[in-house]
Chain A
Amino acid sequence: MQNHVISILVNNEPGVLAKISGMFYRRNFNIDSISVGSSEKYGMSRIVISFTGDSNEFEQLVKQLHKLIEVVKIKKLENDSLVRELCLIKVYYNDSKAREDLISYSEVYKNKIIDISQDTITLQIIGDPDKVNNFIKLISKYKIKEICRTGTTGMNRG
């Protein structure tokens, strides 16, 4: 079992996401994350998919994706590729000590504090998924109100 990230260029037609996710469901592929947005090409979107499985499963996933007519190009991301994820976390704090701790953890992680209320603080973390996971682990002793993650996006170097 290994994590794989692929970046696919698709024709931006109605139903393309339904086709891709339907295929994953039908073929029993377990997707860690999927992120979608426009690309540098007009009328095309880029979808980045993170997937954990053995190399056979991964090969099948790529081949099955290729069969979808909307899929124009598939790129596998190398191990040293640039992968990022954005995560927003809203955490409760009981006292000023807790608040100060959260702020100083965030400094180490280079997080942004984007909102503070009477009893919550909202942090923005950008980094590879491991960094995000580690940070969430680090603050798990606090009561977390909400986590929103964009899923992995990324590209190869150079």
Chain B
Amino acid sequence: MANNNNGKKTSEIIIDTLIKQRVKHIFGYPGAAVIPLFDELLKRKNEIYHVLVRHEQCAVHAADGYARSSGKTGVCIATSGPGATNLITGITNAYMDSIPLIVITGQVSTKKIASDAFQEADMMGITLPITKHNFQIRSADKAEEILLKAFRIATEGRPGPVYIELPIDVQYETKLNNEKSLSNIQGFNPVMKGNSKQIKTAAELISKSKKPLFFIGGGVILSDACNELHKLISLSKIPVVTTLMGKASFPETNELCLGLIGMQGRKCANYAVQNSDLLIIAGSRLSDRATGKFNEFAKKAKIIHIDIDPAEIGKNIPAEVPIVGDVKSVLSDLFYALSRISNKMPYKNWTGKLIRMNKKCSCSLDINSKLISHKKVLYELQNILNDKDIIVTGVGQHQMFAAHFLKRNLPRTFITSGGLGTMGFGLPAAIGAKIANPEKRVFLLDGDGSFQMTLQELATIMQENIKIIPIIFNNSYLGMVAQWLRLFNDNKLSNVSLQNPDFVKLAEAYSLNGIKVTRSDEIKNAIDQSINEKNTTVVEIKVNPDEDILPMLKSNTSLDKLFGPCVPDNYFKEE
């Protein structure tokens, strides 16, 4: 950094450094322990805009939605003690899905730390297992250096949240020395380039394989490697399946895309994994939701595993060809390696078969039942959606219906809480996504339960004049839990039925609009109206409370044990 900040206060250095890192938005909530930082935010409000949320958890989720939808680093801020502990769910959510965030909170003054002072919480201890790294800034001299390091750590290698604690006395302190801040971090050099011998081996295996398959996780989107993936698939004509986090890394309307894998996966996708003889896994940590029972996963396949985090390779599933590196770089190298050798595509039959299965692996979403089907809502929505629109979801049946049936073609247009499955993520994440992408339409697909976990953010929408298109799938149920109880607990429904507020009136209480939909033929108009309205207009759709999202797997069973309709019985007979 050119200037040395000499004579500046820490709070000034922090906000200044954020601005120099091209941070345009910050999500947060004030309190006594961050007054100097907020004072600085006020001074610089034309350069960095602070969005005031209504609960600190939502500051993290909003920063997270901002990051997922834009590829930038999300930044949020809160006070010490309760402000800081309110962030925990949000930080964990981002950590599980490897989202780059900078999370800053105040802390009691350095002299009071460890005295159980008012609003002191041991956030350095609490955030240990839920961040990629954490820092405490103990002097103004270190402020810029730590922040620069935090940005590097959050974004380089496998991304993740970095927490920074800033005691109140340090915020007021002035930088005295003239030293330049260095962002060099000893011992932190993620391997970016994959081993060329391993990549060559991978290419050779592909050219000899009879049943190869790409298995794509969220890492491909995080490392911006979707173009490289696309080139590789166009060259090789190998079909592809994706995890929930990898959804839309490859266009889902392409016949080679078999779609979602796993517990809530498509039959053709799960079938392909279990019958493949060569899995090329990229940017996936192979979560149990994606793989089913570990020791029955892809038993016929050799495994090539590409990941920037070596600890993910061999953690759950052993790999024959481990390749550590940035998937963007590795997929690009693999493309060249594959174009240099002769590939007669001995897997042509396999590809052809999977394309045919893919076409048959569908059921009509255009269901006109009296009780509205989730599928009908998605049917209408699919007709309305453009590729660039951003979908954000809550957690539950509605999320899995959307993940399974909605086709998305562009990365960063399907935003959902994967690893943690955090109800309440949807609304604040949609706010973040809209702020990062003001020119795009942002649709929130939420459940009645999930929505009520963070619905106070309707006030943020009102105050900031944010226009999103929220669609609430109201089944008056914690639907996903109810489904599990119906299927695996002898239909004994314990505490899953919700008596709900009137969501239309609720929207109106926040000076927004609302539309209630109770008939299938009203869905399209309601969504159109919400899109066209200037104000955010909540569309509440009363959906069938007893509808299951199928097919699905029981926990800890193998991928071929999917049960449920949507494909003919003799589907897997064809050879």
Residues from chain A with Cβ under 8 Å of B153 in the complex: 69
Contact of A11 among B132, B136, B187 (CB under 8 A): B187
Contact status A22-B186, CB under 8 Å: no
Q: A11-B187, A72-B187 are in contact. Are A67 and B309 (CB under 8 A)?
A: yes
Q: Report the interface size class on chain A.
A: 20 to 34
Contact status A15-B310, CB under 8 Å: no
Per-residue 0/1 for A23-55: is the Cβ within 8 Å of any B Cβ (1 yes, 0 no)?
100100000000000000000000000000000
CA distance A29 to B125 in the complex (A): 19
Contact status A67-B311, CB under 8 Å: yes
Shortest distance from the beta carbon of A111 to any chain B beta carbon, whole Å: 39
Contact status B310-A63, CB under 8 Å: yes
**Is A73 engaged at the interface, CB distance under 8 Å to the other chain?**
yes
**Is A5 engaged at the interface, CB distance under 8 Å to the other chain?**
no
Shortest distance from the beta carbon of B189 to any chain A beta carbon, whole Å: 10
Interface size on B, residues (CB 8 A): 18
Contact status B125-A18, CB under 8 Å: yes
Which residue of A has the minimal Cβ distance to B134?
A: A15
Shortest distance from the beta carbon of A63 to any chain B beta carbon, whole Å: 4
Q: A18-B128, A22-B128 are in contact. Are A72 and B186 (CB under 8 A)?
A: yes
Q: A56-B314, A60-B311, A60-B315 are in contact. Are A70 and B128 (CB under 8 A)?
A: no
Which residue of A has the minimal Cβ distance to B313?
A: A63
CA distance A66 to B188 in the complex (A): 9
Residues from chain B with Cβ under 8 Å of A73 in the complex: 187
**Is B129 engaged at the interface, CB distance under 8 Å to the other chain?**
yes
Residues from chain B with Cβ under 8 Å of A70 in the complex: 187
Per-residue 0/1 for B109-152: is the Cβ within 8 Å of any A Cβ (1 yes, 0 no)?
00000000000000011001100110010000000000000000
CA distance A71 to B311 in the complex (A): 15
Chain A interface helix/strand/loop/mixed: helix
CA distance A79 to B311 in the complex (A): 24
**Is B185 engaged at the interface, CB distance under 8 Å to the other chain?**
yes
CA distance A14 to B125 in the complex (A): 11
Residues from chain A with Cβ under 8 Å of B318 in the complex: 56
Contact status A66-B310, CB under 8 Å: yes
CA distance A71 to B136 in the complex (A): 18
CA distance A72 to B125 in the complex (A): 21
Q: A60-B311, A66-B311 are in contact. Are A71 and B128 (CB under 8 A)?
A: no
**Is A107 engaged at the interface, CB distance under 8 Å to the other chain?**
no
A to B CB contacts below 8 Å, 21 in the list: A11-B187, A15-B124, A15-B128, A19-B128, A22-B129, A23-B129, A56-B314, A56-B318, A59-B314, A60-B314, A60-B315, A66-B311, A67-B311, A69-B132, A69-B133, A69-B185, A69-B188, A70-B187, A71-B187, A72-B186, A73-B187
5 closest residue pairs by CB, A with B:
A72-B187, A63-B311, A69-B133, A22-B128, A63-B310
